[in-house]
A and B are shown apart, each in its own frame.
Chain A
Amino acid sequence: MAKFRKGGGRKLSAISTASLPDIVFMLLFFFMTTTSMKEVTLKVDQKMPEATELTKMEKKSLVKYIYIGKPKKEFQKSMGTGSRIQLDEAFANDPSEVEQYISQERASMKEEDQGGMIVSLKIDKDTKMGIVTDVKQALRNAYALKISYTSMQKVNNY
């Protein structure tokens, strides 16, 4: 029969933390590869709609973003609770500002890229189509015809 060791005497050896950096580095690399830098600070709520037929945006430099949604809590006092358009860091007062914004953005792109510009519409799923239609009209007027309705991959189709 094995003898039970008497308590005391030996000290508990500390758990080796030598592999901890490896684990954390693994996590770090995981997040570095799966995430992307934030483009702007969002001032509107964004819950993406779901769809199945999605295309991944390949060239980031060609993509310009327009955000539409209800203002976040801290802006609701000044901006109200209706859906608003956010261009870069600021709210747009009127959908027609989109036109100007797009031509500005286009001018800042490289000349060979200008034709391939894609406008990514990041629109909250509870937004009404009225404001979306206005933005689409503005985009048409600005000849930004390639658009992408940003959405999440729907998990099961049926």
Chain B
Amino acid sequence: MGKKREVQEINASSMADIAFLLLIFFLVTTSMATDKGLLRVLPAPMPKDQKVIDEAVKVKERNVLQILVNSNDELMVNGQPMEISKLREKAKEFIANPNNSEELPEKEVINAKFVGDIAITKSHVISLLNDRGTSYQVYLSVQNELVAAYNELREEFSRQKFGVALTDLAKSDPEKYEVITKKIYSMKISEAEPKNYGKEGGN
């Protein structure tokens, strides 16, 4: 007697096993979040009785940037072969037409909220046509470059006019953000009705 007993510690050695079990369970049932993607909006379906309207909607030649991708994943922009890496610059020049060139889309003055009168290439169209044999990676890269061109122009505009980055503007002032994305640099990427003009590879 007189000897004090120490309080017995709870045995925690099995805790590691339990935690391991949970860890392995989650490793097996889950996958890394890859839920990021390039958002695009498809055009509404054409009425069934309507003929292909390729001819009906005539756009001035200078307003169109025609991009073709063939089954060998080669790019043709307005009739000239081009590397994908140069597409972004080309698209930016086309969309903005900074020097008011005769070759590039015509500028129209519009009145936008917060900005006032501004000349933009309102009626420009980027037309994208791919072959059935084009690989998906190349198609996506082309789309990515075009979206990137718009995003870079928007970013520049946002910094110039409002002095903030575009992502910050989207949070702090959604209305201004909408003006930039919907009015000033609205995306006009049109994908032609699918045509099969080349051999289809390995599908």
Contacts and interface: CB of A to CB of B under 8 A. Distances in A.
Interface residues of B, number: 50
Interface string A1-38: 00000000000000001101100110110011011111
Contact of A52 (B130, B132, B135, B148): B148
Interface stretch (A71-79, A85-93, A104-112, A136-144): A136-144
Contacts of A21: 12, 15-16, 18-19
Contacts of B35: 36, 56-57, 60, 63, 120, 150
B99 interface: no
B151 interface: yes
A83 B132 CA distance: 13
Contacts, number: 163
A123 B203 CA distance: 14
Chain A contact-residue range equals 35 or more
Interface of A: 17-18, 20-21, 24-25, 27-28, 31-32, 34-38, 48-57, 60, 63, 82-83, 118, 120-121, 123-133, 136-137, 139-141, 143-153, 158
Given A35-B33, A50-B137, 14 more contacts: A20-B16, A24-B20, A35-B26, A37-B30, A48-B34, A55-B36, A56-B35, A82-B202, A128-B200, A148-B38, A148-B39, A149-B37, A150-B36, A153-B36
